[in-house]
Amino acid sequence: MYDRDMLRESLDYFEPIRALDEMTPNERSRALAHGESVDRMPIGIMADLTVPRMMGTTFAECEKTARGKAEQQIAAYRLFGADGTGLMYGLHSLAIAYGGAYKQPPNETKVLLDAPLRHPREDVPRLSLDDIVFDEDPNAYVTLEALEMIRDEIGDEVGTGVNFTSPFTAASGLVGVETFLRGLIRREEWAPQLIEFTVSALFKLAEPFLKEGFGVSTCDPVASCTIINPKLYRTYALPSELRFQELVRQYTHAPMHMHICGDTTKILEDVAGGGFSEYSLDNVVDLGVAKERIGDRIRIQGNVDPVGLMELGTPDQIEDKTKECFRKAWDSPKGFQIHSGCDMPFDSSNENIFRYLKVAKTLAAEQARALEDPDPERPHGWDA
């Protein structure tokens, strides 16, 4: 399935990055929860598309089996030592389960070619939760099997969980984004009905993960203000996010992590008011603005550009941007975690990833010391 020699070479290359860590993510998380000292604050990186290259395989190959999905996440943790692992149910998996045509590029996520519900006025009222069968949806049951493998192998060191696309975005995949948004704007009866159905459908698929003790997070790319206006977000997307979170919390008794792609500057306060545990910001959102407006209400993550810098930039540019992220948000009142803005492309170079991780972990260690022992006169590495 993958080239063990190439993975060993990659592990050797990133060994100095792993050597920077004195604690496992689980040890670090427990210490922070008890107000104890840590070696560094948590750091994150979205590298699902990139790690297969370091394993001598493709993302599509990893996606074929539970073992492939698990090996990719296990390799990512052993390569980078970031503070979390996890898998997605899939951006378009609900639409695919309903028969939507798709293709699987070698080194990208699945691309939906055709929405399954072509006549929404007739099709949506006929939707039934009886159609949602976990054991008949490979994107669901294979992901659960993979998470169990990850937990068995590295769960004593690092947590893992599953990300579900939020109901608003998942609903758009069932009928097509343009048709969906037109239906909402024209206030057609089927459009909010579809969102309501999707909330219940996603929760039905999430329940087996929750029953096995896995955390559930969410993302809502179509809810971005790059695509819709704030009014549509507040009227339709946000309520469906909150309803999904409410259902998930019946099991977790904890708020969810949220990520929305693109520019969400106009809805920062709305997201912060949703009671999510943390908000992962795309690179187009200014962290300084986010800290000022919502930093006292929600933990923020972000937001090194995954394409313009991690794929196409230089190591020095990545170092400068990582420092800028810390400079703007390291002391955000509810917390800040350095992270890539979104998933990095397959061919993001080892050199760029190495520099990001080196700077991120070094500054996260300084962040931990500065938060534990504040001194306004002390110079910080991110100011250099």
How does residue 384 score in pLDDT terms, banded at 50, 70 and 90? confident
Q: Which residues contact 214 (CB under 8 A, 6 or more apart)?
A: 144, 147, 151, 160, 161, 162
Q: How many CA atoms lie within 13 A of 19 on its CB side?
A: 7
Percent of the chain residues past pLDDT 70, beyond the cut = 100
3-state secondary structure of 187: coil
State which amino acid sits at residue 95. A
- Which sequence spans correspond to the domains of the chain? 1-83+299-384, 87-261
State which amino acid sits at residue 238. L
pLDDT tens-digit map of 272-308: 999 999 999 999 999 999 999 999 999 999 999 999 9
What is the rounded CA–CA span in Å between residue 290 and residue 303?
11
335 — alpha (psi -120 to 50), left (phi > 0) or beta? Answer: left
Is the bond preceding 303 in cis, omega lying within 30 degrees of 0? yes
pLDDT of residue 353: 98
Q: How many CA atoms lie within 13 A of 341 on its CB side?
A: 24
pLDDT tens-digit map of 26-63: 999 999 999 999 999 999 999 999 999 999 999 999 99
What is the rounded CA–CA span in Å between residue 72 and residue 131?
31
What's the mean pLDDT when you consider all of the chain? Answer: 97
Q: Which tokens is 319 given?
A: 């170092």
How does residue 176 score in pLDDT terms, banded at 50, 70 and 90? very high
pLDDT tens-digit map of 301-359: 999 999 999 999 999 999 999 999 999 999 999 999 999 988 999 999 999 999 999 99
Query: Average pLDDT, stretch 85-114?
Result: 96
Query: Residue holding tokens 């459908």?
Result: 201
What is the rounded CA–CA span in Å between residue 338 and residue 330?
8
pLDDT of residue 92: 96
How does residue 104 score in pLDDT terms, banded at 50, 70 and 90? very high
pLDDT tens-digit map of 198-208: 999 999 999 99
Closest CA to 164 of 69, 86, 59, 234: 86
The gap from C-alpha 138 to its chain's centroid, in whole angstroms, comes to 21
Q: Are 36 and 46 in contact (CB under 8 A)?
A: no
* CA triple 154-159-165, angle to 5 deg: 125
CATH number of 87-261: 3.20.20.210
Q: Are 268 and 290 in contact (CB under 8 A)?
A: yes
3-state secondary structure of 301: strand
Q: Are 384 and 46 in contact (CB under 8 A)?
A: no
How does residue 376 score in pLDDT terms, banded at 50, 70 and 90? confident
pLDDT tens-digit map of 142-170: 999 999 999 999 999 999 999 999 999 99
Query: Residue holding tokens 């703007």?
Result: 328
How does residue 367 score in pLDDT terms, banded at 50, 70 and 90? very high
What is the rounded CA–CA span in Å between residue 169 and residue 260?
10
Closest CA to 216 of 206, 226, 225, 224: 206
User: Given 3-state DSSP classes, what are the helix, strand and coil percentages for the chain, each rounded to the nearest 5?
Assistant: 55, 10, 35
> pTM to 2 decimals?
0.96
Helices 66-80, 138-154: inter-axial angle, 10-degree rounding:
40
Q: Are 135 and 205 in contact (CB under 8 A)?
A: no
Question: Is the confidence at residue 1, as pLDDT, over 80?
Answer: no
Closest CA to 169 of 261, 87, 273, 255: 261
Q: Which tokens is 110 given?
A: 């699945």
Percent of the chain residues past pLDDT 90, beyond the cut = 98
Query: Residue holding tokens 């008890």?
Result: 34
From residue 95, alpha-carbon distances to 60, 116, 155, 168, 203 in Å are 19, 6, 31, 13, 15
Query: Average pLDDT, stretch 90-110?
Result: 96
pLDDT tens-digit map of 58-84: 999 999 999 999 999 999 999 999 999
Q: Which helix (H) or strand (E) holds 16?
A: helix 4-18
What is the rounded CA–CA span in Å between residue 71 and residue 87?
12
253 — alpha (psi -120 to 50), left (phi > 0) or beta? Answer: left
